[in-house]
Structure 1
Amino acid sequence: MTKRTRLRASQRSDLALGIMSGTSVDGVDCALCAVTHKQVKLQRHWQVSFPLRLRKRIVSAAKGQSSSWEIAQLHHDLGRFYARAVRLGLGQDRPKVVGLHGQTIFHSPTKRNPATFQLGEAAWLVEELRLPVVSNFRAADLAAGGQGAPLATLFHKLAFGQQKRVVCVNNLGGISNVTLLDFRAKDSPRILAFDTGPANMLLDIAVRDFTDGRKKCDTNGKWAARGNVDEVLLSEWLEHPFFRTPPPKSTGREMFGETFWHAALRRIKARGLSCYDVIATLTEYTARSIALNYALHLGAKPDRVILCGGGAANHTLVERITRSLRALFADAEVVTSDSLGWPLQAVEPAAFAVLAWYRIKELPGNLPETTGASHAAVLGQLAVP
């Protein structure tokens, strides 16, 4: 297929399905979208929660506590679970392609030995759905010298870019990542994207620890609202070198997961904090680390900040982020994606619907200026019926 033929084909609208399960490990989000090279429209979105036992197996694998045979079994069990999750919401629609992100259990984009690993065998979806499935999106960018992340940038540009305005899209999953879309230039927009640090991950770990697993998260930020922020601990945590590392950069559980939490616990106990104070301080940590990254790395004043992902349903977290950002950018509008027609949990799977569509059109899916890759690359491995 020639470049001109690919471009002409990319102007037609196709249905594409994206499947995402993120580092919060709460379940699977599916988004059915109509996609062209110029726009993406959400048709339907649905969620399926992980059973508790499956969730525990995923967390164990991500913490490096699973054997090779346990990881192999989990890889196939997740593939079957994803196929069932799609069946629950797809109905009679027949998308042209399915994009399966999979479940990240390891992500370390170091220069010397970069590696990333997402579980979920695509062959089970191909067999069940009889549709083409694209998976393993991050590896091609990593092999090209990139971080393998963030990869939602193209979708953000299609869904949220606004002429003559500077827009930030900030996803609040286990990890927080931001995309800057600066459309003030007439010729081409300036785009920047990177991970800012923790969003829900440390909060969820702490709540599960405090409740012996009875609670998964701080629902609506109720615990955080009851607690007081410990400014001493917060100042210590904000000294983490990741925040001052310039983009391109990405992170994950390896940096802001259980190891961080267990080290923090010693200081928490020494300062005699209640569980509510800890959650309040961790919530403020997310908010201020986002603002710190904006101040150090954006290089532009956003007109609008769009919050999405599961963390945007945490009212206290949204309030803290809004306050921190307005201390930097007094006139910035801070909104959630659902106010713009995109449900909070639909944004990430929609991004992989778009990337899967780009894959079958043989179009590059990464933006080297945001991931650090040496060149644009067609992302993902295609499996067909």
Structure 2
Amino acid sequence: MTRVIGLISGTSVDGIDAALVEISGTDINLQVELVAGETYPYPDSLREQILAVCAGASLSMAELAELDDAIAFQFAQAAQEIQGNSPSASLIGSHGQTVYHRPPVKQGSQQTLEEPLPTSPSSHLPITQLGYTLQLGRGEVIAQLTGIKTISNFRVADIAAKGQGAPLVSRVDAYLLSSPTQHRCIQNIGGIGNLTYLPARQGNWLEAICGWDTGPGNALLDLAVQHFSHGSQTYDQDGNWARQGTPCQALVEQWLSEDFFHLSPPKSTGRELFGVDYLNRCLAESTAYHLSPADTLATLTELTASSIVHSYHNFLPKMPDEVLLCGGGGRNLYLKQRLQALMESVQVRTTDEAGVSGDFKEAIAFAVLAYWRSLGIPGNLPQVTGAAAAVPLGNVYAPIES
């Protein structure tokens, strides 16, 4: 058994999810035991700075470096605290904090990855058509502060292979959550929603797996709660506020006309699209319907649920037998109920019911990706990310003894 720590802070920027796990096996025999899981909130000032950067705030290079190191320090601290009095881990897999994500130019658009782009008017450098992603929290800093080999920067190898760099956890989902008899969707609802479709483990089932980002998860809801509560609340616990309202179906249908929802997979997104500007547009458009704050939250909840179901109906090879929720949205009981209502006969459960912690599944996944990287095993699924090849993911940083 290899003891590994997985670390991630998602697009909701709630804090750092840390999972201490013991791992054995490699693929279909992969075994993961969660020893400890904990979420460590960011200091308020750091969280506000991260959210401002995600919303497009400008930084000097010196400020960017300071932010990168400040996040790395918090990640290192989380890694140290999650171990407690347990035996030390031998490896850390740190996803870091995404502050910017730009998908690659898709095939069939005006310009493709095979066609050269013009040079940028502000420089003499050619504009790349590869995607771009930036996760802060330097792995080399985490390695030096903890004294543990650290693997980070997982998304860039997939992007270099012409992939989206997301979703990256589908191969992990395949080996931890697939069923020999049932077709499953693993639906993560963090700030952004993403799915992995897992056909029953029969025949060439691994090649039939697919996945993509479905659109907003909690991001718009959390921003709206902060707006309506004047900053006194950061999320709608159990969906209780939204439950008091009535969704405006006309607005949901209007918002579902967003181009992203109709884009064929592979596809990925982030706060660059579903962020503050998008929420402000939603709020402006809702004024014509004279909605209360509860009505608006119910409508945004319906958008998240409807966008997920819309994605299933339009892009899955077939509807699943069951959906397993994970991430913060899995604890939103009202959202879960709306999903179940829209899914009709498809059972909506949580990954906890299938033996994998819904709260820490993403952190567990990056522990596994780091473990695979240490063994030279590819971590991405090309049919999910759109990459040209399956590649090991992550940069390796070993601590240097003084």
Q: Is the 8 A contact 1:135 1:382 kept in 2?
A: yes
Counterpart residue number, 1:81: 74
Q: Which SS does the other structure have where 1:17 is aligned? A: strand
Root-mean-square deviation (CA, aligned residues, Å) is 1.3
- Paired residues for 1:328-367 under 5 Å: 330=345, 332-367=346-381
- Paired residues for 1:1-385 under 5 Å: 13-35=1-23, 36-37=25-26, 38-39=29-30, 40-68=32-60, 69-91=62-84, 92-111=86-105, 112-183=129-200, 185-189=202-206, 190-326=208-344, 330=345, 332-385=346-399
Total equivalences in the alignment: 369
Q: Which SS does the other structure have where 2:383 is aligned? A: helix
Change (3 A) 1:74 1:303: same
State the Cα distance separating 1:85 from its structure 2 match: 1.3
Normalising by structure 1, we get a TM-score of 0.93
Q: Which SS does the other structure have where 1:103 is aligned? A: strand
State the Cα distance separating 1:342 from its structure 2 match: 2.6
Per-residue CA deviations over 1:264-304 (Å, capped at 9, x if unaligned) read 22112232211000000000110011000000011122112
Residue type at the aligned position of 1:266: A
Unaligned runs of 5+ in 1: 1-12
Distance 2:378 2:256 in 1: 36
Distance 1:94 1:304 in 2: 38
Distance 1:30 1:236 in 2: 38
Q: Is the 8 A contact 2:178 2:201 kept in 1?
A: no
Q: Which SS does the other structure have where 1:285 is aligned? A: helix
Residue type at the aligned position of 1:364: P
Q: Is the 8 A contact 2:130 2:159 kept in 1?
A: no
Distance 1:167 1:278 in 2: 31
Residue type at the aligned position of 1:106: Y
Q: Which SS does the other structure have where 1:253 is aligned? A: coil
Q: Is the 8 A contact 2:313 2:319 kept in 1?
A: no
Distance 1:135 1:66 in 2: 25
Distance 1:318 1:286 in 2: 10
State the Cα distance separating 1:154 from its structure 2 match: 1.6
Per-residue CA deviations over 1:52-74 (Å, capped at 9, x if unaligned) read 11110100111121312322211
Q: Is the 8 A contact 1:167 1:180 kept in 2?
A: yes
Per-residue CA deviations over 1:160-216 (Å, capped at 9, x if unaligned) read 111132111000000000000102532443210100000100000111111221110
Distance 2:72 2:225 in 1: 29
State the Cα distance separating 1:113 from its structure 2 match: 4.7
State the Cα distance separating 1:155 from its structure 2 match: 1.4
Normalising by structure 2, we get a TM-score of 0.89
Distance 1:66 1:211 in 2: 27
Residue type at the aligned position of 2:103: P
In terms of fraction of residues, the more helix-rich structure is: 1
Q: Which SS does the other structure have where 2:37 is aligned? A: strand
State the Cα distance separating 1:96 from its structure 2 match: 2.5
Counterpart residue number, 1:4: none
Residue type at the aligned position of 2:227: D
Counterpart residue number, 2:125: none
Residue type at the aligned position of 1:168: C
Per-residue CA deviations over 1:74-119 (Å, capped at 9, x if unaligned) read 1000101111112222123222311000000000112225210001
Q: Is the 8 A contact 2:131 2:163 kept in 1?
A: no
In percent, how many aligned pairs have the same letter? Answer: 39
State the Cα distance separating 1:41 from its structure 2 match: 2.5
Per-residue CA deviations over 1:248-273 (Å, capped at 9, x if unaligned) read 11110011111111112211223221
Moved over 4 A (4+): none
